[in-house]
C-alpha cells in the first residue's frame, strides 16, 4: 500500500507540480486548503505524514498542529513556512513538529524529507517489534507457569502497552500479540476460578483491592486533608482507554495510577453498587433490602447509589459534605461543566460518567459505529476522540488550577466478544451476555465459571434462581432458541460481566494539579 501524505496549504493549486512529482514516486497525496479541512481529514482517514503551511487564513499552521497532535500524537508533521523567525520555529518545535522547511521548497526537498521520516518510523517500528519479540517468551512463561494477583496486573499492563505500541506496526506481529493476549486470558480465567473465592471468604488474606475497597482505600483517606475531593467514575472504562486519557491529562496533573479488581460479575449492578456502599452485593441486600431488588434491568438496580454512599458515610461516622451527580446525557455534562468550580465548596463531589458504557452498547446496535470502530484499536481511538471534546475534559481543565484532589476510576471494563457458547437454563434465567443467574444453568466448562453457591461469593440471588455462570475469555452466552440470530447479532461486540483482564483489572488514578 502506498504511503499517504496530507498536504495543507491555502495556495495548494500552486503546488500541483510537487504533487504530481510525489505521485509519480508512488505516494498518495490528499491536498486541502485550510486547517479545518486538515483536522477533519485526520479524524476520518489514516495518513503517514502531514505537510502543513504555517501561514493559512483562519486556523493557522500552529493551531492546526495542536489539533492534529490531540487526535494523533505520533503522526509526523512537517511545517512549511515563509518565515525564518526563531520564535515561530520555537513555537513549532514546542508543538512537536517532525521537521520544518522554508519556502520556496522544491520537489526533491519534499521527497528527501518524506523518505527520512518514513525511514525513521520504520526503524522505530522495528525497534518496538524486536523489543516485543524478546519479551514474548518471558511473558508467556509467566502466565503459563502461574502467578499471583499482583503478577497478573503487571502482565496485563505489559500486554496493553504492547498492544498500543504495535497498533501501527506489522500485521503479522499484531496477530501474534492478539493470540498471546487470548492465551493470557485463558490462563487468567483459570487463576480467577481457583483464587477469587478465597478473596471473598478470607478478606484479611493476601488479595487485591476489590470494588468494596475503592472508597475506603482511595477516596476517604483524602478527607483527612483540608481540600476538596472529586471522585470521577467513568463507567466501563478499560485500562488502554485510561492510558489515552492520562496522556492528555498529564499536561495539567501529576498522576499516580494504581489498580484494583472488580468483583464478579463485572457488571454495573454489582460492581458499582459495591463501590459506593463499601459492601459486597449480598451485604447490601442484607443491610438494606429495600435498596436491592433482583431483576434483569441494570438501570433499575443502580438507582440508589447516592443513598448507598450516604449510608457508607453514616457507618464510617464521616461528618463531611458530599454531592452525587450522574451524567447520562451530553447536555447534563455541559451543565455540570459550566458550574464545576462551585463544587469546590463541597468536601466530596462524586460524578458518574456513562458515555463509554453508552458507546459500548451503541456499537453493538449500530452498523455505523461498528464500521467506525471495527477493532480494539479503532474503538480506543473513538473513545479518545470523544474525550477530547467532552464536558468531562472541560471539568478536568477547569479544576487544574484549583487546590483539589481528583480520583478517577471505573466500575468494570469490557472485552471484545468473538466466540459464542450455548447456555441452557429455565425460562426465567437472566438475559445478560457475559453472566447469567437462574436455575439449572448449564454451559461448556471451558467457556464459563460455574457458581453453584452464590452466597459463598457474597452474591444475592432470588429463588427460584440458584446459581450464576460467568463467561471466560472472549465468549458470550447464547440460548439455543433463535441461536443463529443472536449468535450473529452479538458476535464482535464489546461486552462486560465476565472474567477477563480487560473487565476485572481496573485503573484507579489519583490526580493533583501541577
Answer yes or no: is 120 within a domain. Answer: no
Taking CA 56 as the corner, what is the angle to CA 54 and CA 57, rounded to the nearest 5 degrees? 150
| 369 and 508 fall within a common domain | yes
**In the chain, pLDDT over 70 holds for what percent of residues?**
95
287's grid cell: 443491610
What is d(CA 294, CA 436) in angstroms, rounded to the nearest whole number? 12
Contact between residue 311 and residue 280 where contact means Cβ atoms under 8 Å apart? no
Least confident span in 194-198, 213-217, 365-369: 365-369
| 255 and 357 fall within a common domain | yes
What is d(CA 15, CA 205) in angstroms, rounded to the nearest whole number? 70
pLDDT at 376 over 60: yes
345's grid cell: 465548596
> For every residue of 240-255, which 3-state class applies, written as one string?
HHHHHHHHHHCCCEEE
| 276 and 394 fall within a common domain | yes
pLDDT in tens, 80-110: 887 666 555 565 555 578 888 888 888 888 9
Q: What's the number of domains the chain is made of? A: 4
* Phi, psi angle pair for 233, to nearest 5°: -110, 110
Q: Could you tell me which residue, 496 or 121, shows the higher pLDDT?
A: 496
What is d(CA 108, CA 114) in angstroms, rounded to the nearest whole number? 10
What is d(CA 245, CA 385) in angstroms, rounded to the nearest whole number? 10
pLDDT in tens, 313-336: 999 998 889 999 999 888 999 999
| 24 and 173 fall within a common domain | no
Task: Please enumerate in sequence order all residues whose Cβ is within 8 A of that of 118, keeping only pairs 6 or more positions apart, or say none.
Answer: 3, 48, 49
| 400 and 455 fall within a common domain | no
DSSP 3-state assignment of 101? strand
What is d(CA 102, CA 4) in angstroms, rounded to the nearest whole number? 22
Q: How far is CA 118 from the centre of its chain?
A: 29
Which residue reads 509467566 in cell numbers?
142
DSSP 3-state assignment of 137? helix
In the sheet with 442-443, reading across from the earlier edge strand, the strands are 442-443, 419-424, 475-478
Answer yes or no: is 298 within a domain. Answer: yes
pLDDT in tens, 442-500: 999 999 999 999 999 999 988 888 999 999 999 999 999 888 998 998 899 999 999 99
483's grid cell: 441461536
Its sign, for the CA torsion 222, 149, 432, 243, is positive
| 179 and 279 fall within a common domain | no
pLDDT of residue 96: 73
pLDDT at 214 over 90: yes
Contact between residue 337 and residue 395 where contact means Cβ atoms under 8 Å apart? yes
* Phi, psi angle pair for 195, to nearest 5°: -105, -25
* Phi, psi angle pair for 107, to nearest 5°: -55, -35
Of 73, 105, 137, at which residue does a domain stop?
A: 105
Which residue reads 502506498 in cell numbers?
2
Its sign, for the CA torsion 101, 104, 109, 115, is positive
**Comparing C-alpha atoms, which of 161, 67, 96, 59 is closest to residue 388?**
67
* Phi, psi angle pair for 29, to nearest 5°: -105, 130
Which residue reads 505537510 in cell numbers?
51
Answer yes or no: is 221 within a domain. Answer: yes
Answer yes or no: is 150 within a domain. Answer: yes
| 33 and 58 fall within a common domain | yes
Instruction: Provide the residue range defining the domain that includes 285.
Output: 211-415+503-513
**Comparing C-alpha atoms, which of 159, 151, 198 is closest to residue 176?**
159
| 405 and 433 fall within a common domain | no
Answer yes or no: is 356 within a domain. Answer: yes
Answer yes or no: is 321 within a domain. Answer: yes
pLDDT at 163 over 50: yes
| 218 and 364 fall within a common domain | yes
pLDDT in tens, 261-282: 999 999 999 999 999 999 999 9
pLDDT of residue 295: 42
Which residue reads 493557522 in cell numbers?
60
Whats the size of the chain, residue-wise? 514
| 395 and 475 fall within a common domain | no
pLDDT at 9 over 60: yes
Other CB atoms closer than 10 Å to residue 464's CB: what's the count? 10
CATH number at residue 41: 3.40.50.2300
| 197 and 272 fall within a common domain | no
pLDDT of residue 301: 62
**Comparing C-alpha atoms, which of 435, 457, 434 is closest to residue 280?**
457
Answer yes or no: is 95 within a domain. Answer: yes
**Comparing C-alpha atoms, which of 7, 9, 10 is closest to residue 19?**
7
Answer yes or no: is 233 within a domain. Answer: yes
Amino acid at each position: 500500500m502506498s504511503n499517504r501524505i496530507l498536504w495543507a496549504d491555502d495556495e495548494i493549486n500552486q503546488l500541483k507540480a510537487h504533487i504530481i512529482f510525489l505521485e509519480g514516486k508512488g505516494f498518495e497525496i490528499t491536498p486541502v486548503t485550510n486547517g479545518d479541512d486538515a483536522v477533519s481529514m485526520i479524524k476520518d482517514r489514516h495518513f503517514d505524514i502531514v505537510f502543513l503551511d504555517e501561514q493559512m487564513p483562519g486556523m493557522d499552521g500552529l493551531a492546526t498542529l495542536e489539533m492534529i497532535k490531540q487526535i494523533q500524537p505520533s503522526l509526523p508533521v512537517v511545517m512549511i513556512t515563509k518565515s525564518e523567525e526563531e520564535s515561530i520555529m520555537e513555537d513549532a518545535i514546542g508543538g512537536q513538529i517532525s521537521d520544518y522547511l522554508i519556502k520556496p521548497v522544491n520537489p526533491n526537498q519534499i521527497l528527501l524529507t518524506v523518505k527520512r521520516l518514513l525511514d525513521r518510523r520504520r526503524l522505530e517500528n522495528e525497534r518496538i517489534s524486536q523489543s516485543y519479540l524478546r519479551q514474548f517468551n518471558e511473558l508467556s512463561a509467566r502466565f503459563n507457569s502461574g502467578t499471583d494477583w499482583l503478577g497478573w496486573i503487571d502482565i496485563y499492563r505489559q500486554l496493553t502497552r504492547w498492544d498500543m505500541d504495535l497498533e501501527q506496526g506489522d500485521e503479522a506481529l499484531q496477530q501474534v500479540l492478539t493470540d498471546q493476549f487470548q492465551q493470557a486470558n485463558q490462563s487468567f480465567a483459570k487463576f480467577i476460578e481457583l483464587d477469587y473465592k478465597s478473596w471473598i471468604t478470607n478478606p484479611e488474606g493476601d488479595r487485591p483491592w476489590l470494588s468494596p475497597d475503592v472508597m475506603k482505600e482511595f477516596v476517604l483517606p483524602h478527607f483527612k486533608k483540608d481540600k476538596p475531593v472529586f471522585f470521577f467514575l467513568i463507567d466501563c472504562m478499560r485500562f488502554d482507554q485510561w492510558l489515552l486519557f492520562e496522556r492528555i491529562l498529564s499536561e495539567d496533573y501529576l498522576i499516580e495510577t494504581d489498580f484494583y479488581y472488580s468483583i464478579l460479575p463485572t457488571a454495573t449492578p454489582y460492581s458499582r453498587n459495591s463501590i459506593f456502599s463499601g459492601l459486597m452485593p449480598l451485604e447490601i441486600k442484607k443491610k438494606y433490602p429495600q435498596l436491592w431488588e433482583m431483576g434483569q434491568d441494570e438501570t433499575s438496580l443502580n438507582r440508589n447509589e447516592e443513598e448507598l454512599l450516604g449510608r457508607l458515610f453514616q457507618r464510617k461516622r464521616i461528618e463531611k459534605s458530599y454531592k452525587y451527580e450522574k451524567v447520562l446525557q451530553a447536555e447534563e455534562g455541559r451543565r455540570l461543566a459550566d458550574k464545576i468550580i462551585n463544587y469546590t465548596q463541597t468536601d466530596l463531589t462524586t460524578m458518574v460518567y456513562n458515555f463509554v458504557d453508552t458507546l459500548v452498547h451503541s456499537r453493538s446496535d449500530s452498523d455505523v459505529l461498528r464500521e467506525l470502530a471495527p477493532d480494539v484499536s479503532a474503538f480506543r481511538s473513538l473513545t479518545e476522540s470523544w474525550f477530547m471534546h467532552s464536558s468531562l475534559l472541560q471539568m478536568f481543565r477547569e479544576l487544574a488550577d484549583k487546590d483539589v484532589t481528583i480520583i478517577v476510576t471505573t466500575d468494570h471494563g469490557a472485552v471484545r466478544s468473538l466466540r459464542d457458547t450455548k447456555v441452557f437454563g429455565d425460562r426465567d434465567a437472566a438475559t445478560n451476555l457475559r453472566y447469567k443467574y437462574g436455575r439449572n444453568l448449564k454451559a461448556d466448562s471451558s467457556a464459563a465459571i460455574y457458581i453453584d453457591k452464590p452466597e459463598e461469593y457474597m452474591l444475592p440471588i432470588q429463588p427460584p434462581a440458584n446459581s450464576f455462570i460467568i463467561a471466560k475469555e472472549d465468549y458470550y452466552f447464547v440460548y439455543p432458541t433463535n441461536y443463529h440470530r443472536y449468535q450473529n447479532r452479538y458476535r464482535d461486540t464489546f461486552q462486560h460481566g465476565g472474567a477477563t483482564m480487560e473487565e476485572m483489572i481496573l485503573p484507579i488514578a489519583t490526580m493533583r494539579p501541577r
